[in-house]
């Protein structure tokens, strides 16, 4: 009978948690996807790049909202059980509240593993893959990224301005500035249109003039028709790998090298690791914290709601305890995210930050032991 009750409790937790997690992540992803669409259009990227890029950001959303959704799910289901007197079944069957707490800690261990897999493996890999789509894709110059009455510098080294644009894609009263090192070229045209000739993107210009400065020599010529080649031009989007996209093993290898620690499993040459520099040490420490330390707050957030079982809903202070419990959980979530700002180059300071979840978890468990007096209730 006890096993049946535990299974029902676990099922209710997981069903509510998965529904809340997936629905919340989907809503946030839709809002982000709309924002990504605007960026991709302005950047001239193809829609296939936009779809892949936005989908690969979904794991990051899940990992960010995972702790809060988990805490809220536990708090909601436990409150529901308390109000319906279902928890009384546990205690009436002689179930120890401490054994109940241990069961929750056991479950939290598996959720911790899931979260750490997301933060240290899945998310960095998906973020790097998303960045690679930008690195490997070419700008789609035939799209609608040039908007009238707006200077567009999406293309690296090129600024395009058009006074008007009709429904057929024709541009009117164009200004184009192209810069290559110390040289520059300015073109004015009455009309222009993007086309593709044998896979090569072109901007056909009509009735204009080009002014060119090369080697401090200025020349100009007028034209009735001119082809402005767009081949091999790249967008200004940052495509180099960021710290957030580095492999976790690379971050650990880099940090052990910087701090001159000798760990046999982390012997990768730092010269082969992108962003492995002294100047980037703080960013790597912050990333280390987010990937490998923050997941340890998962067991803490699962334990906090269970302060409710230390009291009874019939007691006059129960609503106050419920409010304090909820605020405590939210405060822990904010603390776990906010304390990253205090990560510094000082190893001792960081050590305090990194061990804080272990101290908190141990303290919570000791409080339960003391409150329950090691006895079955």
Q: Which long-range contacts (CB under 8 A, 24 or more apart) does 288-292 make?
A: 288/251, 288/252, 288/255, 289/340, 289/343, 289/350, 289/353, 289/354, 290/119, 290/340, 291/116, 291/119, 291/120, 291/124, 291/248, 291/251, 292/116, 292/119, 292/120, 292/248
CB 198 within 8 A of CB 226: no
Contacting residues for 269 by C-beta, under 8 A, at least 6 apart? none
Distance of alpha carbon 338 from alpha carbon 293, whole angstroms: 13
| Lowest-pLDDT range of 65-74, 103-112, 223-232, 303-312 | 223-232
| Lowest-pLDDT range of 181-195, 254-268, 333-347, 356-370 | 254-268
Q: b/e map of 184-210 (b: 16 or more CB within 10 Å)? A: ebbbebebbebeeeeeebbbbbbebeb
Please state the φ and ψ torsions of residue 260, each to the nearest 5 degrees.
Answer: 55, 45
Q: Where are the domains of the chain?
A: 2-137+240-372, 158-229
Quick: pLDDT tens for 226-260. 887 765 555 555 555 678 888 888 888 888 877 76
Provide mean pLDDT across the span 362-373.
87
More confident residue, 307 or 6: 307
| Lowest-pLDDT range of 77-86, 88-97, 287-296 | 88-97
Does the pLDDT at position 81 exceed 80? yes
Give the Cβ contact number of residue 255 at 10 Å: 19
Residue spans of alpha helices (H) in 234-276: 248-258
Q: Pairing mode, if any, of strands 217-229 and 200-214?
A: antiparallel
| Lowest-pLDDT range of 68-72, 274-278, 339-343 | 274-278
Contacting residues for 216 by C-beta, under 8 A, at least 6 apart? none
- pLDDT at 377 (0 to 100): 47
To 10 degrees, the CA torsion angle through 204, 206, 209, 213? 0
- pLDDT at 219 (0 to 100): 84
- pLDDT at 52 (0 to 100): 81
User: What's the whole-model pTM score?
Assistant: 0.74
- pLDDT at 265 (0 to 100): 56
For 195, how many CA atoms within 13 A lie in the half-sphere containing its CB? 10
Largest CA distance in the chain: 95
Provide mean pLDDT across the span 139-162.
71
Distance of alpha carbon 303 from alpha carbon 74, whole angstroms: 9
More confident residue, 266 or 58: 58
More confident residue, 183 or 357: 357
Average pLDDT, the chain: 82
The model's confidence at residue 217, banded by pLDDT at 50, 70 and 90, is confident
More confident residue, 350 or 377: 350
| Lowest-pLDDT range of 182-196, 297-311, 318-332 | 182-196
- pLDDT at 27 (0 to 100): 94
More confident residue, 226 or 274: 226
The model's confidence at residue 318, banded by pLDDT at 50, 70 and 90, is confident
| Lowest-pLDDT range of 81-90, 298-307, 327-336, 349-358 | 81-90
Give the Cβ contact number of residue 89 at 10 Å: 15
């Amino acid at each position: 009978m006890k096993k049946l009750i535990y299974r029902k409790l676990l099922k209710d937790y997981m069903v509510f948690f998965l529904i809340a997690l997936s629905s919340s992540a989907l809503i946030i992803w839709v809002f982000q996807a709309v924002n990504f669409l605007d960026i991709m259009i302005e950047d001239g990227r193809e829609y296939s790049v936009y779809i892949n890029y936005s989908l690969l950001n979904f794991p990051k959303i899940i990992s960010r909202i995972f702790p809060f959704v988990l805490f809220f799910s536990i708090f909601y289901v436990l409150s529901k059980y308390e109000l319906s007197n279902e928890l009384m079944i546990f205690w009436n069957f002689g179930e120890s509240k401490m054994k109940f707490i241990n069961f929750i800690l056991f479950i939290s261990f598996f959720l911790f593993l899931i979260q750490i897999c997301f933060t240290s493996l899945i998310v960095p890999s998906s973020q790097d893959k998303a960045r690679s789509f930008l690195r490997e894709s070419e700008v789609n110059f035939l799209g609608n990224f040039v908007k009238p009455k707006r200077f567009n510098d999406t293309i690296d080294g090129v600024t395009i301005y058009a006074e008007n644009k009709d429904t057929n894609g024709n541009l009117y009263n164009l200004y184009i500035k192209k810069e290559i090192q110390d040289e520059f070229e300015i073109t004015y045209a009455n009309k222009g249109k993007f086309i593709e000739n044998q896979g090569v993107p072109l901007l056909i210009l009509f009735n204009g003039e080009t002014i060119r400065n090369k080697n401090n020599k200025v020349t100009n010529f007028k034209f009735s028709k001119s082809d402005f080649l767009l081949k091999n031009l790249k967008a200004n989007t940052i495509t180099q790998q960021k710290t957030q996209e580095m492999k976790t093993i690379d971050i650990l290898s880099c940090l052990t090298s910087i701090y001159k620690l000798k760990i046999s499993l982390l012997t990768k040459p730092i010269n082969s690791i992108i962003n492995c520099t002294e100047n980037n040490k703080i960013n790597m420490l912050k990333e280390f914290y987010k990937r490998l330390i923050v997941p340890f707050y998962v067991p803490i957030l699962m334990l906090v709601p269970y302060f409710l079982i230390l009291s009874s809903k019939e007691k006059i202070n129960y609503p106050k305890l419920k409010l304090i419990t909820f605020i405590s959980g939210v405060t822990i979530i904010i603390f776990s995210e906010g304390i990253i700002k205090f990560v510094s180059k000082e190893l001792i300071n960081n050590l305090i930050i990194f061990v804080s979840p272990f101290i908190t978890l141990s303290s919570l468990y000791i409080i339960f032991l003391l409150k329950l007096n090691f006895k079955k209730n």
